[in-house]
Amino acid sequence: MIRKIGIGLAGFGTVGAGVYKNLLRNGSLLEQRLGVKFDVRRIAVRDLQKVRDVDAPAELFTTSPDDLLLDSSIDVVVELMGGIDIPLAFVKKAIHSGKIVVTGNKALLAEHGREIFELAHEKRVPVFYEAAVAGGIPIIKSVREAFVGNRFEAIHGILNGTSNYILTRMTEEGADFAPVLADAQRLGYAEADPALDVNGWDAAHKAIILASLAYGFWINPSDVLVEGIEKVTAADIRFANELNYRIKLLASIKADEVGEIEVRVVPALIPKSHVLASVNGVFNAVAVRGDVVGDALFYGRGAGQDPTSSSVLADLAEAAAFLESPRACIGFTSHDLYGRCKPIDQTISKYYLRLGVEDRPGVLAQIAGTLARADIGILSVIQPEGLVVGAVPLILTLHDAPYGPMKKTADELASLPCVKGTPLLLHMEAFS
């Protein structure tokens, strides 16, 4: 007899509705492959009167997430509510009640992963979260299982489709940020409030989860350098192209030789020759380097109803396997192979620096002198004709330097009388 597994959906927005729709669509396929039938028994929503794109029987709906926890026929709860405080309370109650948790809430895990998994270990209740990072790309399972025999040397990713879409349009059309963002909102690729997408924090939450999973301890968000794409201009993209680079919002996760971890999410110059430079539009990609496997690349849609619900279905399959045969792994394994996060100011990179300067003799010497006093070397100089905020543009690429001294020096340059406007400092990723 096919075993039935009771499901409670907490949230019936884009992804929650997609999970319900695709469980109906591919329910028989899942039965054939897994030998179980998933049965949605309760759905918690904020507003019972809201018109929804996906229909479900009215008797399934409730406005109280606790109803899912009190229902003894529900084995697995799927948290897709969004936000942090209410989902955190719900997930902790679910673990206490012994119900397996599936969540796609990246902000919740990035901010509270440590306490969630400490409780999960204590209660021996698994928490699965494939949908929290990169939509339909199976990167969580790959890092946790397929690459379990590897030490991770680096993980680089384009983890936010909205920012990638905007930068792609800016690159292809020579357009500036503001009009492309407005168009992305009109087309539905960006939210009415796009802050988390364009300021880097959506991608940063995902990077924190990946880094924590790869290196065995939960990364504190305060240890992550996060910058958005709002200050990148069409001119910067053009100058990067002349230097044979593309600008992408890039998550970089690295371990050094002494086990210190570096995590940053910033608009960065990527060599055109690197595969991530060709990831365009709303697509995501994650490049993993392990000491045994070498380089591996994952590519696909990082958001949307169907790709994300596909990952939720994969987690439901994991939950079914756990119910059939409980095991030690509950979604996160801590270990002490790595030490700590490297302080942001000590992280090292090459840099792109765009200045607007007065067009007169001696200006380049002043700037070069300021950099030299900070022991920062110049790789290249571009000074094209034209005006930028009443000044001529000066583009410098700079040798490897710690971020703290580099940022301080950029601020010093901004205070020089010959420098007009606000400098733009971007990382240049070497992937070495």
* Residue 295 burial (CB count, 10 A): 12
pTM above 0.85, yes or no: yes
What percentage of the chain exceeds 70 in pLDDT? 99
Q: What is the pLDDT of residues 180-227, one digit of tens each?
A: 999 989 888 888 889 989 999 999 999 999 999 999 999 999 999 999
Nearest to 201 by CA among 262, 160, 165, 255: 160
Structural domains of the chain sorted by starting position, each given as residue range(s) with its CATH number in brackets = 3-138+305-324 (3.40.50.720), 139-301 (3.30.360.10), 347-428 (3.30.70.260)
Quote the CA–CA distance of 161 and 171 in Å, as a whole number. 15
Q: Which residues pair with 177 in a beta bridge?
A: none
User: What's the confidence (pLDDT) of residue 225?
Assistant: 98
Quote the CA–CA distance of 351 and 132 in Å, as a whole number. 31
What amino acid occupies position 297?
Answer: L
Q: Is 273 helix (H, G, I), strand (E, B) or coil?
A: coil
The first and second tokens of residue 48, run together, are: 């019972």
Q: Which residues of 405-432 are buried (b: 16+ CB within 10 A; e: fewer)?
A: ebbebbeebeeeebbbeebbbbbbbebe
Contact by Cβ (8 Å): 210, 155: yes
User: What's the confidence (pLDDT) of residue 386?
Assistant: 59
pLDDT confidence tier of residue 2, bands split at 50, 70 and 90: confident
Q: Residue 389: pLDDT above 70?
A: no
Who's near 419: CB < 8 A, 6+ residues apart?
355, 356, 357, 367, 391, 413
Q: Residue 251: pLDDT above 60?
A: yes
Q: Residue 388: pLDDT above 80?
A: no
Q: Is 315 helix (H, G, I), strand (E, B) or coil?
A: helix
C-alpha to C-alpha distances, 125 to 116, 122, 322, 330, nearest whole angstrom = 10, 8, 10, 7
Q: What is the pLDDT of residues 18-36, one digit of tens each?
A: 999 999 999 999 999 999 9
Nearest to 205 by CA among 301, 305, 119, 104: 104
What percentage of the chain exceeds 90 in pLDDT? 86
C-alpha to C-alpha distances, 70 to 66, 92, 156, nearest whole angstrom = 6, 14, 42
Q: What is the pLDDT of residues 333-357, one digit of tens each?
A: 888 778 799 999 999 999 999 999 9
Average per-residue pLDDT in the chain?
A: 94
CB burial of residue 389 (10 Å; 0-12, 13-18, 19+): exposed
What amino acid occupies position 363?
Answer: V
Contact by Cβ (8 Å): 408, 133: no
Q: Mean pLDDT, to the nearest integer, of 402-422?
A: 95
- Catalytic-residue membership of 420: no
Catalytic residue selected from 99, 106, 206, 420? 206
User: What's the confidence (pLDDT) of residue 384?
Assistant: 82
The C-alpha angle 30, 313, 78, rounded to 5 degrees, equals: 125
Q: What is the pLDDT of residues 48-75, one digit of tens each?
A: 999 898 999 999 999 999 999 999 999 9
> Please, which contacts does 386-391 make with residues 24 or more away whose CB atoms are closer than 8 Å?
388/235, 388/356, 388/420, 388/421, 389/356, 389/420, 389/421, 390/356, 390/420, 390/421, 391/356, 391/357, 391/358, 391/359, 391/419, 391/420, 391/421
